[in-house]
Structure 1
Amino acid sequence: MMYLKRLLLLSLLLIGVSCKNTSEEKENATLERPNIIFIMSDDHAYQAISAYSDKLIKTPNIDRIAKQGMLFTNASVTNSICAPSRAVILTGKHSHINGKIDNNFPFDTTNVTFPKLFQQAGYQTAMFGKLHFGNNPKGVDEFKILPGQGNYINPKFITKEGDTTITGYVTNIITDLTLNWLDNERDEEKPFMLMYLHKAPHRPWWPSPEKFKEYTQKTFPEPETLFDDYKNRGTAAKTAEMNILYHMRYGHDSKIRPETLKRMGKVTPEMEPIPGGFTYPYSRMNEKQKALYDPIIDSINNDFEEHWPNMTDEEKMKWKYQRYMQDYLGTIASVDDNVGRVLDYLEETGLAENTIVVYTSDQGFYLGEHGWFDKRFIYEESFKTPLIIKWPDVIKPGSKNNDMVQNLDFAPTFLDAAGIKIPEDMQGESMLPILKGKDTAWTRDAAYYHYYEYPGVHMAKRHYGIVTKEYKLIHFYYDVDEWELYDRLKDPHELNNVYNDQNYQEVVKKLKEKLKTLREKYKDSEELDQHYINMYKQKNITK
């Protein structure tokens, strides 16, 4: 009702305005610019949000956003790795254009970011939580951000006044900072753009003490492809180092104490502890905190020491999967609780009425599918990302959308919603027509993806590809030259590469042509591929 009143008043004010304004511009204009709260978690798989699937966990508060807004079922990223994804979100440009191709190369601070444009347009801006790169975010009036990956327990924050360490659990603290700014520090005369950025559920997964206690008592269903043998895939899937059995560490990930591993001996490579893997997070605790964690850690270690020597590889895989899910999902439970705190505040103060709330992740994540953890690949669980948006009186509550949208589109969408001019060099598209229920206005029928960080952690090979609703065509390059094609409708688990199947040769031909067109549209090329390869080699040589 409030939105209808605003539109009525707006229509009266627009009488006599120059006829140069298009009807769409008139419709997009608002008397009261919306606030925006951008909520992003790190590595939050869509499979671990009950609005998408309730097989693993219930997330009632994140689900509230979906019930009051729109759930995107085909949202994806352009480069599935933390810092590059964030750079794409901030700039509205692909990694090869903004320059942040991987977690190692620095972010080019000459890039124009959407918070800067909001600030210039009169919005008050703030950022709390994990940015992942840089220590002075551009266009942000107030910030408290974690250095790099940050810590779950007693985390350090970078602020305008200098570094500070705050005692407590990181997810609660980030929310406390966010709510304090909303309640005590924001300028009520200005609209605001707030970035509320969680560290969780990034590795290594340390739940809060109460969630740790609760979730270690739970057992979770295994994915169908937990014991995938990759027999119908190429070299990349076979050589990636992200298998739960072989590459997930007992100390760093499963919370096995160094002294427990020492007593049992170095039996397999994954038992060799990552330096500081268990010790560093644990050493950040004060004695009161250790007293809460120790009984649970001791129970896990006792179980491990009793059963591990007699376990088969299959049993070890199952054991490690359960430990992974217990901790990963335990951290998400705290994220959901804290999202609820923010939603409650918005509703109690009346801010919800004119605030766009976005929930997303910087990419997807493997929760045992194909036997994996981590992300990086264009394969589904890594490529697809959760995206949920609510905007009262604009977005129809409980709606779903299946369009090919990407994190590339976030910046232009936010700018468009606020009535701020979108820079011509942004490569994303405004999703405003979708949010307003005008799905036919969305023209993208294929998404472009490019991953660069190889050789590197987890050894996922360099690749680029094109994804439509029906197919996925991938080119792996650098030290291989391999193509893969997946029929997304017939083979949703992506178990059979049909690139050489005679029945799909016409599909291959058409997708290669479309991929070439997309590469040209987004200004990517073999020359740029080689440029970044050379930069990577030079960086390694000069280390």
Structure 2
Amino acid sequence: MSSDKRPNILFIMADDHASKSISCYGAGINHTPNLDRLATEGMKFNHCYVTNSICTPSRAAIITGTHNHVNGVMTLDSKINKYIPNVAKHLRTGGYQTAMVGKWHLGEGKAHEPTGFDYWEIVPGQGEYFDPEFIGPDGTHREAGYATDIITDKSLDWIKSRDQSKPFFLMCHHKAPHRSWECDPKHKHLYKDPVRLPDTFTDDYKNRAKAAAVAKMRVAEDMTYLDLGLAQPEGPSSVVGEKLFNSWWNNDRKVPDPEDVTSLKLIDKDDGTVFTFKTRKELAEFKFQRYMQRYLRTIQSIDDNVGRMLQYLDEEGLAENTIVIYTSDQGFFLGEHGWFDKRLVYENSFNMPFLIRYPREIAANSVCNDIISNVDFASTWLDFAGLRKPTYMQGVSFRKLLQGQSPPDWQQVAYHRYWMHRDVIHEAYAHYAVRNQRYKLIYWYNEDFGIEGTRPGGEEKEWELFDLEEDPLELFNCYHEEKYADVVQHMTEILEKKMEEIGDEPVHSKHDKK
């Protein structure tokens, strides 16, 4: 037994897991009893935000405690420099045993492999759901089974074999529920009842910046049939029973719907069921329901496996002194504004789920409405480990919030910057934004700055302001309304102060502003 009484830290992160698909967040669309347990035995955050709503930059912000212009990981094509400092290195130097299992997504090869970890085993790229490949210090191998189970097995095996004289820090990163939403076969019977359409599913994008209208993330128009486990009698991947493949970004998979959908036939790739449609509206709603079924079923394995980890901590007497965190690398659109995917700073994408349990300091059934960001995670872990926060880290420890205290000087501000202007798949526009407890200010600067994975800009620059108290669905840009003139000025000052604080370079000018 360890004489070091500092807490163990178990960080479990999913990929693209929307808060509303965790039942303790109250949407009522699925049931996740094991994730809910973290909320009932610990704290649920309602306002945790991502600094850049895309997988790779979010992971870089989490592990380094810095914004993306500092750590250099700004797009999906960016790779982390393994020689820069990170929180695992500080924890290991400070006496922790450290491990990383699952989705790394910060580059592969010697120059970009995980560093600061006593043990690591990662999936290449996005990883695979079935019989996934893994990369470790000794090379590459493939393992039979379902990815979520295997990543949990490896995580538990490491905890069991760890050096028990030291506290541990484990990053357990799941592939699920990332697109293409392939569930464990044992969950295929779940969620057959229709999910209520979001109020904004048929959004017409009026009263908003152009960015909302041009984004290619619509369930009805931009989601491929293969994403939904469907084939057509003739066309790409038409064979029933054929395994889905991971190159979902290949535009050849996108088959436009015919104008006359009565001629369309879609076939379930698992059981051969044939679907036909009378109207485009019927087809759009069918796609949404199919999407939600696949997405929610994939999440069920995460919930099961979080339950396995919590049970192990209970059985081994580790629960009392282990901080358990569950989050996602960003939020995700589940039909809101008609969309799937993320990237944009609108709330469903910007907001991350965050559940944390630590019986020694966190009261059961507690809820926090203060604002935190993923860049704050590393500083908080170092605080619990009793280690000094390095000067390069830009995040702030929120340990006081976990103890039920809201410091009077707590900065109730979240910052977001998305760099991948008009990425070749989703046409999302480059922007930065700031949010406080009531308002969100967005600047769509629409330039690529030569960033990899982007296309040239030239689009009109636009501002948006949303009053999230009056307009929680973000349907009405009030930036140009006279009654919000003082708010615009105030939020612009907050934005500029935040950018100055973190050293991010603004591209707007007084001429751009109202």
Bin the TM-score by the shorter chain.
0.7 to 0.9
Pair 1:223 & 2:191 matched: no
- Counterpart of 1:255 (choices 218, 229, 247) is 229
Is the CA contact (8 Å cut-off) linking 2:56 and 2:78 kept in structure 1?
Answer: no
Residue type matched to 1:158 in 2? Answer: I
Is the CA contact (8 Å cut-off) linking 1:55 and 1:221 kept in structure 2?
Answer: no
- Counterpart of 1:169 (choices 146, 149, 161) is 146
Following superposition, the deviation at residue 257 of structure 1 comes to 2.8
CA offsets, 1:97-129, max 9 Å, x none?
111001112222232110111111111101111
C-alpha separation between the residues in 1 aligned to 2:390 and 2:46? Answer: 28
The 5-angstrom pairing of residues 22-421 of structure 1 reads 32-135=5-108, 136-183=113-160, 185-215=161-191, 217-251=192-226, 253-257=227-231, 259=233, 261=235, 297-299=269-271, 301-304=272-275, 307-308=276-277, 311-421=278-388
C-alpha separation between the residues in 1 aligned to 2:367 and 2:212? Answer: 32
CA offsets, 1:151-191, max 9 Å, x none?
001100001221010011100111111111112x2111111
Is the CA contact (8 Å cut-off) linking 1:249 and 1:274 kept in structure 2?
Answer: no
CA offsets, 1:508-539, max 9 Å, x none?
0111111111110110113799xxxxxxxxxx
Map of 2:441 onto structure 1: 473
User: What is the SS of the residue equivalent to 1:472?
Assistant: strand
Greater C-alpha radius of gyration: 1
Following superposition, the deviation at residue 275 of structure 1 comes to 5.1
Pair 1:507 & 2:474 matched: no
Unaligned runs of 5+ in 2: 239-247, 254-266, 448-458, 510-514
User: What is the SS of the residue equivalent to 1:440?
Assistant: coil
C-alpha separation between the residues in 2 aligned to 1:96 and 1:34? Answer: 32
Following superposition, the deviation at residue 435 of structure 1 comes to 1.2
C-alpha separation between the residues in 1 aligned to 2:178 and 2:504? Answer: 30
CA offsets, 1:360-414, max 9 Å, x none?
0000000000000000011000000001111112101110001110001000000
Residue type matched to 1:164 in 2? Answer: H
Label 1:263 to 1:358 Cα distance change in 2 as closer, same or farther (>3 A): closer
Pair 1:523 & 2:499 matched: no
Following superposition, the deviation at residue 421 of structure 1 comes to 1.0
C-alpha separation between the residues in 2 aligned to 1:296 and 1:214? Answer: 16
C-alpha separation between the residues in 2 aligned to 1:376 and 1:134? Answer: 20
Label 1:149 to 1:442 Cα distance change in 2 as closer, same or farther (>3 A): farther
Residue type matched to 2:163 in 1? Answer: D
C-alpha separation between the residues in 1 aligned to 2:81 and 2:237? Answer: 48
Map of 1:464 onto structure 2: 432
Label 1:361 to 1:298 Cα distance change in 2 as closer, same or farther (>3 A): closer
Residue type matched to 1:475 in 2? Answer: Y
Give the TM-score normalised by structure 2: 0.88
Map of 1:431 onto structure 2: 398
Is the CA contact (8 Å cut-off) linking 2:229 and 2:268 kept in structure 1?
Answer: no
C-alpha separation between the residues in 1 aligned to 2:221 and 2:251? Answer: 19
Unaligned runs of 5+ in 1: 1-29, 265-272, 279-294, 530-543
Map of 2:450 onto structure 1: none
Following superposition, the deviation at residue 298 of structure 1 comes to 4.2
Pick the structure with more helix per residue: 1
C-alpha separation between the residues in 1 aligned to 2:230 and 2:186? Answer: 19
CA offsets, 1:65-120, max 9 Å, x none?
11111100111111000000000001110111111001112222232110111111
Is the CA contact (8 Å cut-off) linking 1:433 and 1:442 kept in structure 2?
Answer: no
Moved over 6 A (4+): none
Is the CA contact (8 Å cut-off) linking 2:4 and 2:165 kept in structure 1?
Answer: no
Label 1:262 to 1:467 Cα distance change in 2 as closer, same or farther (>3 A): closer
Is the CA contact (8 Å cut-off) linking 2:231 and 2:268 kept in structure 1?
Answer: no
Is the CA contact (8 Å cut-off) linking 1:212 and 1:296 kept in structure 2?
Answer: no
Pair 1:495 & 2:472 matched: no
C-alpha separation between the residues in 2 aligned to 1:527 and 1:150? Answer: 36
Label 1:410 to 1:365 Cα distance change in 2 as closer, same or farther (>3 A): same
CA offsets, 1:172-216, max 9 Å, x none?
111111111112x2111111000111100000110011112334x
C-alpha separation between the residues in 2 aligned to 1:353 and 1:400? Answer: 20
Give the TM-score normalised by structure 1: 0.83
Is the CA contact (8 Å cut-off) linking 2:55 and 2:76 kept in structure 1?
Answer: yes
**Equivalent residues, number:** 468
Residue type matched to 2:153 in 1? Answer: D
Label 1:35 to 1:237 Cα distance change in 2 as closer, same or farther (>3 A): same
Label 1:277 to 1:186 Cα distance change in 2 as closer, same or farther (>3 A): farther
Label 1:164 to 1:424 Cα distance change in 2 as closer, same or farther (>3 A): same
C-alpha separation between the residues in 2 aligned to 1:277 and 1:178? Answer: 37
User: What is the SS of the residue equivalent to 1:331?
Assistant: helix
C-alpha separation between the residues in 2 aligned to 1:393 and 1:460? Answer: 43
